[in-house]
Structure 1
Amino acid sequence: MMQREIVLPGTYLGERKGRKVTNCYVEDDKVFSKVLGVLKISEEEISVVPLAGKYFPKVGDRIIGRIEEIEVSGWWVDINSPYRAFLPLGEAVEEFVDVRRVDLSRFYDIDDIIFCKITKVTKNKIIQVSMKDMLARKLFGGITIKITPYKVARVIGKGGSMIEMIKKKTGSEIYVGQN
C-alpha cells in the first residue's frame, strides 16, 4: 500500500507491528480500513483519514463550537460531531463566579460561536473543551464555512501558508477548526 492512497472499507493495509491504528480494525495483527478515506502510514501509526463524515474529537484539537445549552456549572457545545462537548465554568472564565447570583449567559449564550481547545476525551466519549488557550475566544460576526475534516489540512496548507495567503488576499481574520 502506498501513502496517501484512497482505500475502501475492508481494505488490507498491512501488519500492525505494535502501531496505533485510527479508523481501522485489527484481526490477527492484520490492519484493515473501517472507512473510505486516505491512507497515512508511519512508524508509529496506521490511519485512514475519512473522505466524508463527522469529526471525531482528539485532545489538543482546536475547534469551532456553538453553545447549545447552559447548565449550572458550564455550557454544552455542539462541535459538529456525534458527541457534544462540555465547557466547564472553570475552563471558561478567570474570575470567581457565584452561580447562585450570576446568569452564565452573561459570558456565553445559546448560539454563541467559540474557538476553543479539546482538553479531555474519555473512553465513553465525554468531551471537555477549554477557553484557556491563547487562541481561544468568542467569535463575533462573520460567516461559518463548513468543510469536510479531510480538507482541513489543505485549507491550512504547509506551515499555515495557504491560510495566511487567504487572510492577506481577503483582509479577513480566519479561524480554522479541526472539526
Structure 2
Amino acid sequence: MIYVENKDLVIPGEVLADDEYYSGRGTFKENGKICSSLMGLVSLRNKKIRVIPLKSKYVPKKGDVVIGKIKDVRFSMWDVDINSPYSGILPAFEVFGREKKELNKVFDVGDVLFLRVVDVDEVKKVKLGLKGRGMGKFRGGIIVDITPTKVPRLIGKKGSMINMIKDKTNCKIIVGQNGLVWVKGEEDMEQLTKDIIHMIEAEAHTSGLTNKVKNKLYLAIDGELPQEDDYSDDYEELEKPKLQNFKEELEQEEKEEQSKKDSTDFYKVIEELKKKNKKDKPLSYGNNSGNSYILNNR
C-alpha cells in the first residue's frame, strides 16, 4: 500500500509506503514501512519510490529565465532538464511556429539552451519558450551548478558582483534563476570564474564578500591586490536606507520641537500685549490663515 502521491511534499520520518515498494534515494525502511529521510518531493516510478530534496532544487515560476539541457526529442517538443524536480517541455511551435522541421536538426539531445518559463500549471508541468533577448542555444563554454537560492548573491546589488567578475576575467556569463550558470572565455579564465562562483556560493552568508572576491580576482590575474576599493560590499549598501530613515526621524523630531517652541513664544507675546494694554480689554484670536495669526483688539 502507498500513502502518498507522485510529487507530494513530505517531511523527514513521514511514512510513504509499505515495503512491497522499492526504497530509493531519500528514503529508508523501518518496521516494514518506507519512510522519507528528508524534506522533499515524492518521485514514483513503477514500484520504486524516492524523495527529491527541495533545498538544493529549483521550483519554477512563470517568467523565470533558466538554463536547460535537452534530454529527449519527441514528435512535437523537446524534453528539457531545468535542474528541478519538474521537467520542462519546449513545444516546437515556440521555436518555429507552424513551420515543419525535423526537431533534432534544430536542437538535439545534450544541447544547452537559455530559456524562459512561459507557464507552470497546477501539476507543475513547465512550459518553456525562447522569446526574449539572448534566448537560444549556447555554443561552447562551461556550465557551473550552484544552489538556486544563492543566485541573488552571485548577481549582487544592481549586478555589482557578476559585472565585476565579467570585467576582470573578460568572460561572458549568463546566470539562470535555476542555479545554472554559463561561462565562456579563455580556458584559464573559465576555470577561475568557476572557482569564484563556488566561493560565492560557499560564503554567501558572510559580510565583506565583494572585497574577498575582488582580492582573489586581482591576485589570480594581476598577481597583486587592487590599489583602490572600486566595489563596496553589498551588505553595507543594504544598510544605508536604514541610516537614512533614522536621520529622517531625527529631523522630524527637531521640527516638532521647534513647532512647540514657536507655539510657546507666540503665547508669551500675547501675554506681553495684555499687560501693555492700558484699557485692559481682552484679546481674542482671529482665524488661522496660511499659518499667519491675526490678533483682534476689542
Asked if Structure 1 and Structure 2 have the same fold, meaning a TM-score greater than 0.5 normalized by the shorter chain, the answer is: yes
Query: Shift in Å at residue 52 of structure 1?
Result: 3.3
Bigger radius of gyration among the two: 2
Using the size of structure 2 for normalisation, the TM-score is 0.41
The aligned residue for residue 73 of structure 1 is 76
| Aligned amino acid, residue 109 of structure 1 | D
Comparing 121-130 with 155-164, greater Cα deviation is found at 155-164
In the alignment, is residue 52 of structure 1 matched against residue 51 of structure 2? no
2:105 is matched with 106
In structure 1, distance between residues paired with 2:96 and 2:167 = 32
1:171 paired to 2:170 = yes
Q: Deviations over 1:107-158 (max 9, x none)?
A: 1100000010001000101100100111312111111110101110011111
Q: Return the structure number with greater helix share.
A: 2
1:93–1:132 distance in 2 versus 1, CA, 3 Å: same
Q: Which residue of 2 aligns with 1:45?
A: none
**In the alignment, what sits opposite 1:63?**
66
The 2-side partners of 1:91 and 1:103 are apart by 14
Local SS of the residue matching 2:63: coil
Does 2:94 correspond to 1:91?
A: yes
Aligned equivalents of 2:169, 2:65: Cα separation in 1: 23
Which residues in structure 2 correspond to 1:5-24 (within 5 Å)? none
Distance in structure 1 (CA, Å) of the matches to 2:159 and 2:117: 20
TM-superposed deviation, 1:173:
0.8
The answer to which structure has the higher strand fraction is 1
Distance (whole Å) between structure 1 residues aligned to residue 93 and residue 140 of structure 2: 26
* Equivalent pair of 1:51/1:148 in contact (CA under 8 Å): no
Q: Which amino acid aligns with 1:147?
A: I
RMSD: 2.1
| 2:149 corresponding residue in structure 1 | 150
Which amino acid in structure 2 is aligned with residue 73 of structure 1? S
Structure 1 position 162, deviation (Å): 1.1
Match of 1:129 in 2: 128
Q: How far does residue 68 in structure 1 lie from its aligned partner after superposition?
A: 0.6
Contact 1:53/1:148 (8 A) holds in 2: yes
Please name the residue that 2:193 is paired with: none
2:216 match: none
Q: Percent identity?
A: 45
User: How big is the shift at 1:106?
Assistant: 1.2
Measure the CA separation in 1 of the matches of 2:159 and 2:94. Answer: 27
Contact 1:51 1:150 in 2 (8 A): no
Structure 1: gaps (5+ residues): 1-8, 10-34, 37-49
Q: Residue type of the partner of 2:152?
A: A
CA distance in 1, matches of 2:110, 2:123: 26
For 1:121 and 1:128, the matched residues in 2 are separated by 6
- 1:97 counterpart letter in structure 2: E
Partners of 1:76 and 1:146 in 2: how far apart?
20
Question: Taking structure 1 as the reference length, what is the TM-score of the superposition?
Answer: 0.67
Q: 1:21 corresponds to which residue?
A: none
- Match of 2:76, as an amino acid? S
Q: Distance in 2 between matches of 1:122 and 1:143?
A: 31
